[in-house]
């Protein structure tokens, strides 16, 4: 598989629980991005890694959100103490040189009940 | 703050019609403008534009960028039901080797038979 993989595809959790999502980028890509997309909106930037370094975090990202990319390969996004407002599609993308080279995963749809 | 605005938010047409989707932007450190098609899951790449006035074409789709007036349009001629999707405009911003995509809210296109 040469695409970007995300796991799980769907997650339903109770408010207050912690959740973790995984993204496996295209192996040659050194850049990895997390976006959040709510219904009727475009993807919103959350954070970005170049190799294992987290270079930018959106100031909209609360301290309940944390992301890692150990060894510059796969990445995890954890949300602690989930709230109903966290319900969204979480998209991962990877890139080597940007431009036309962004490849998106199919996303993890989170529903907080 | 970087901003990308798309219009209209939604559009319903009949097969064979021609549609024009609009994207305006106000960003710092512009690198390129990209159009994506999203049919439920991962956005898929359509066009990347970096220079004004050069029209990109792919079959029935075409796009042009105006860097002076800060907007782009996406045209779809002879629409088909398979064109029904959300069309996302994104501006790549950044400098040196650090960059990311800023998305608009998307235009939801429905093509009726």
pLDDT, tens digit, for every residue of B35-63? 999 998 899 999 999 988 878 888 999 99
Reduced to 3 states (helix: H, G, I; strand: E, B; else coil), residue B87 is strand
Give A15→chain B minimum CA distance, Å.
25
Peptide bond between residue A89 and the one before it cis (omega within 30 degrees of 0): no
pLDDT at residue B72, rounded to an integer: 97
pLDDT at residue A81, rounded to an integer: 97
Mean pLDDT of A16-42: 95
pLDDT band of A2, cuts 50, 70, 90: low
Percent of chain A with pLDDT over 70: 96
Q: Following DSSP, what letter does each residue of A67-111 receive, concatenated?
A: EE-GGGS-EEEEESS--GGG-EEEEEEEESSSGGG-EE---EEEE
Task: Say which DSSP state B42 is in.
Answer: S
The verdict on a CB contact (< 8 Å) between B41 and A107 is: yes
Q: Which residues of B touch A35 (CB under 8 A)?
A: 103
The verdict on a CB contact (< 8 Å) between B42 and A104 is: yes
Q: What are phi and psi of A100, to 5 degrees?
A: -75, -5
Please tell me which residue of chain B has the smallest CA distance to A56: B98
Q: Which residues of B touch A106 (CB under 8 A)?
A: 41-42
* Mean pLDDT over each residue of chain B, to the nearest integer: 94
* Mean pLDDT over each residue of chain A, to the nearest integer: 93
pLDDT at residue A97, rounded to an integer: 73
pLDDT band of A19, cuts 50, 70, 90: very high
pLDDT at residue A83, rounded to an integer: 96
User: Distance (Å, rounded) from C-alpha B66 to C-alpha B64?
Assistant: 7
Mean pLDDT of B51-77: 91
- For residues A27 and B85, which has the higher predicted lDDT (pLDDT)? B85
According to the per-residue pLDDT averaged within each range, which of A25-29, B87-91, B96-100 is highest?
B87-91
Give B96→chain A minimum CA distance, Å.
11
The verdict on a CB contact (< 8 Å) between A42 and B104 is: yes
Are A16 and A112 contacting, i.e. CB atoms less than 8 angstroms apart? Answer: no
Percent of chain B with pLDDT over 70: 100
A contact set with B (CB within 8 A): 4, 33, 35, 40-45, 48, 50, 55-56, 91, 93, 98-100, 102, 104-107
Q: Which residues of B touch A45 (CB under 8 A)?
A: 100-102
pLDDT at residue A113, rounded to an integer: 97
Q: Looking at the predicted structure, is the pLDDT value of residue A103 above 70?
A: yes
Give A100→chain B minimum CA distance, Å.
6
């Amino acid at each position: 598989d040469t695409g970007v993989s995300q796991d799980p595809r769907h997650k339903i959790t109770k408010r207050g629980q912690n959740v973790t999502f995984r993204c496996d980028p295209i192996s040659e890509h050194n850049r990895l991005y997390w976006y959040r997309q709510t219904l009727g909106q475009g993807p919103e930037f959350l954070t970005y890694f170049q190799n294992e370094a987290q270079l930018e975090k959106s100031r909209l990202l609360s301290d309940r959100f944390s992301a890692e990319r150990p060894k510059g390969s796969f990445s995890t996004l954890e949300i602690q103490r989930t709230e109903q407002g966290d319900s969204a599609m979480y998209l991962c993308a990877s890139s080597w040189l940007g431009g036309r080279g962004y490849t998106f995963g199919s996303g993890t749809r989170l529903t907080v009940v | 703050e970087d901003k990308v605005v798309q219009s209209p938010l939604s559009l319903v047409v009949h097969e064979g019609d021609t549609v024009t989707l609009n994207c305006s932007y106000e960003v710092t450190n512009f690198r390129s403008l990209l159009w994506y098609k999203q049919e439920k899951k991962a956005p898929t790449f359509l066009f990347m534009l970096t220079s004004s006035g050069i029209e990109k074409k792919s079959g029935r789709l075409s796009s042009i960028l105006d860097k002076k007036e800060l907007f782009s349009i996406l045209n779809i001629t002879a629409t088909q039901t398979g064109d029904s999707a959300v069309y996302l405009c994104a501006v790549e911003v950044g400098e040196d080797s650090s960059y990311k995509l800023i998305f608009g809210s998307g235009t939801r296109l429905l093509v009726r038979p």
